[in-house]
């Protein structure tokens, strides 16, 4: 991974995280780095760093693993860098091996309200599922579920930096599938959590992280096959 020159790395720091009006001392640290001279993104970088550090303990708890997953440990330090990406369609991406989030500097120059996309990548670093176990559509769906139905919902769907309204995912149509991932799967997950089983996210996340995920787990956890749940959501969601 080619990171821009002139970027300074940081070491572990102790961060005071403000969550729900409580001061929580955390050893985790998320540091946002800008290349020298990028003063146009300083305000955004400062807000992003504060927001990611505030939300990290919450997301880590939301996607927690108990003692039955002994080989898993969430990242302690995460670095966020901005650079120009060859693929212009890429907004941001996470590297679990390097505990790094890369943001497309061309995108964030004009989308400084889009902190939610970085929340999505932060979720990926916390997920850290074994390879070839949890399907990609579910991995991306969980990340967007956390982004929209926790991060944006708590902010009443509005990012106040520019006053732009964040539209929540629309109800999928009959032509779509739960395998579409991202916002479509996120809507489906929210329906299941809200209407079928409140702790569904915990168990589906655990099955992915433990390496035991199978599609049959949907019926085991809810009493309904995944296709029946999807049809119920289309009809009633």
pLDDT score recorded for residue 190:
97
pLDDT tens digit string along 96-118? 888 999 999 999 999 998 999 99
Q: Dihedrals φ, ψ of 81, to 5°? A: -125, 155
pLDDT score recorded for residue 148:
94
- Mean pLDDT (the chain, rounded): 83
Using CA atoms, how far apart are residues 39 and 25, in angstroms rounded to an integer?
Answer: 30
- Is a pLDDT exceeding 70 seen at residue 1? no
**Helix (H/G/I), strand (E/B), else coil: 82:** strand
pLDDT score recorded for residue 37:
73
Query: For residue 80, what are the contacts with CB-CB under 8 A and spacing of at least 6?
Result: 30, 31, 32, 33, 48, 49, 52, 100, 101, 102, 103, 118
208: nearest Cα among 63, 56, 97, 74? 63
233: nearest Cα among 183, 190, 204, 181? 190
Cβ pair 200, 193 in contact under 8 A: yes
Using CA atoms, how far apart are residues 206 and 51, in angstroms rounded to an integer?
Answer: 26
Q: Is the dihedral of CA 92, 127, 34, 53 positive or negative?
A: positive
Query: Domain ranges in the chain?
Result: 1-128, 131-237
pLDDT score recorded for residue 102:
95
pLDDT score recorded for residue 154:
72
Cβ pair 17, 57 in contact under 8 A: yes
pLDDT tens digit string along 10-29? 322 223 233 333 333 345 59
- Is a pLDDT exceeding 70 seen at residue 230? yes
Cβ pair 43, 49 in contact under 8 A: no
First-residue to last-residue Cα distance in the chain: 42
Cβ pair 36, 6 in contact under 8 A: yes
Q: Dihedrals φ, ψ of 222, to 5°? A: -115, -15
Using CA atoms, how far apart are residues 53 and 3, in angstroms rounded to an integer?
Answer: 22
């Amino acid at each position: 991974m080619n990171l821009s020159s002139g970027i300074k790395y940081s070491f572990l720091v102790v961060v005071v995280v403000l969550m729900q009006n409580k001061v929580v001392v955390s050893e985790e640290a998320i540091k946002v780095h800008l290349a020298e001279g990028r003063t146009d993104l300083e305000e955004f970088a400062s807000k992003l760093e504060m927001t990611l550090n505030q939300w990290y303990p919450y997301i880590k708890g939301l996607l927690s693993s108990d003692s039955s997953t002994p080989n898993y440990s969430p990242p302690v330090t995460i670095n966020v860098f901005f650079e120009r990406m060859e693929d212009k369609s890429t907004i941001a991406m996470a590297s679990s091996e390097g505990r790094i989030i890369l943001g497309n500097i061309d995108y964030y120059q004009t989308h400084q309200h889009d902190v939610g996309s970085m929340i999505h990548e932060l979720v990926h670093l916390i997920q850290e599922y074994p390879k070839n176990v949890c399907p990609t559509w579910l991995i991306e769906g969980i990340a967007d579920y956390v982004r929209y139905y926790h991060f944006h919902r708590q902010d009443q769907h509005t990012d106040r930096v520019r006053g732009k309204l964040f539209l929540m995912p629309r109800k999928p149509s009959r032509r779509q599938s739960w395998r579409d991932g991202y916002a479509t799967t996120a809507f489906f997950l929210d329906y299941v959590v809200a209407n079928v089983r409140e702790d569904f996210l915990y168990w589906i996340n655990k099955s992915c992280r433990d390496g035991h995920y199978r599609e049959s787990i949907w019926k085991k956890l809810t009493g309904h096959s995944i296709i029946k749940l999807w049809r119920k959501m289309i009809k009633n969601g």
